[in-house]
Homo-oligomer: A and B are copies of this chain.
């Protein structure tokens, strides 16, 4: 059960980006499991990838190709992650890039591959390749919503964000999709995220915008603390909307672009948490009053990863004892616990490190009855702030992961 505001917006097309979806029968029948993005010539591309040592073949190939050429195509399959598949997995991945390159008359290293699904089984690359012509025939500027469907695995709903930005008389579009519901604690990237704009942005500036946005979005969510082998996030800028190129982070338009990308990425990241496996609650864990951002982040993740807290939220139990226990486990040196305050939305449950004497069970019950809850922790020893988003831990989480072989 996904939580809260989940609606797909009108997915504005991005000039210079066409998308084709097809069935390739990688794992399931009757499922459009193959997505191809075509990027117009002149497009710049930035990407971030998983930090897992066992990163998948497509992560290795995409990272390599990106270092040698400007991508013209992205090819994404679901159903098989092509992870922990050794040299055969790499060979299959290269073959899929080569096949798409042959069909489109580009170089193989201008194709970036992405896979998501079961780990450790060889990719049925012949089926993927057989699906490519249909995907290319289907190329359209208006297929973002279908693409959001096409990259889903255990997701229960497609995830998209789109906005139009007016800047110095120019009109720019930013549209993106993401996927993921389990094995989610991105580290430099989410499971899969693809965002495009028609603004003209130089590659190093684009990478800066991407890294910045990811650090405040995909790198601040967790469902189960497991960083996947395939996390990849791509931001492309086609430049087709025209206007002066954004060639420097000192450009006066940079902050506006930055804010817009941050909004889009945050929405895409939060949608992953809202659709977290078995989720019934969406929790915003904000830690303030820290000495530095890192310790705020450590505390927030400690809270967000605690199975005891996650099950308490599933039960709508405002169990502040488990929250202070998690704060105490975050490894902060010389934390003065008597300065710690904890609020659930506006309800203060911990005052000066202990039970808030003014707290009432009725207030606690009311705040916990909501599907979306803010956990605000004040450490009382500095000015740093950080925020992490997570969801609760339900029977259905166990059911989904006991049944599904990821």
A residues lining the B interface (CB < 8 Å): 52-55, 81, 83-86, 89, 118-121, 182-183, 187, 224-229, 305-308, 311-312, 314-315, 317, 319-322, 324-330, 332, 335, 337-338, 350, 352-355, 393-395, 397-399, 401-403, 405-406
Contacts and interface: CB of A to CB of B under 8 A. Distances in A.
Contacts of A320: 84, 120
B321 A355 contact: no
A54 B324 contact: yes
Given A226-B308, A402-B315, A84 B329 contact: no
Nearest to A183: B308
A5 B7 CA distance: 52
A27 to B, nearest CB: 14
A395 B311 CA distance: 11
A348 to B, nearest CB: 13
B52 A329 contact: yes
A228 B325 CA distance: 7
A295 B117 CA distance: 29
A325 B229 contact: yes
A311 B84 contact: no
B84 A120 contact: no
A319 B320 CA distance: 35
Contact of A398 (B86, B182, B314, B335): B314
Contact of A401 (B308, B326, B327): B308
B395 A398 contact: yes
Contact of A327 (B53, B118, B326): B53
Contacts of A118: 321
Contacts of A402: 311-312, 314-315, 317
A84 B353 contact: yes
A57 to B, nearest CB: 11
A84 B338 CA distance: 9
A328 B229 CA distance: 8
Contact of A86 (B120, B319, B321, B354): B354
29 contacts: A52-B328, A52-B329, A53-B337, A54-B337, A83-B321, A85-B355, A86-B352, A86-B353, A86-B354, A119-B325, A182-B308, A183-B322, A187-B329, A224-B308, A225-B307, A226-B306, A226-B322, A227-B328, A307-B307, A311-B398, A311-B401, A311-B402, A314-B402, A315-B401, A321-B405, A321-B406, A394-B398, A397-B398, A398-B398
A70 to B, nearest CB: 30
Contact of A338 (B86, B306, B399): B86
Contacts of A322: 119, 183, 226, 406
Contacts of A321: 81, 83-84, 118-120, 405-406
Given A224-B306, A226-B307, A317-B405, 4 more contacts: A52-B325, A119-B322, A319-B406, A322-B406
A393 B405 CA distance: 16
A2 to B, nearest CB: 19
Contacts of A52: 325, 328-329
Most buried by B among A226, A317, A335, A394: A226
Nearest to A330: B53
A394 B403 CA distance: 12
Contacts of A228: 325
A312 B397 CA distance: 11
Contacts of A324: 54, 84, 119-120, 229
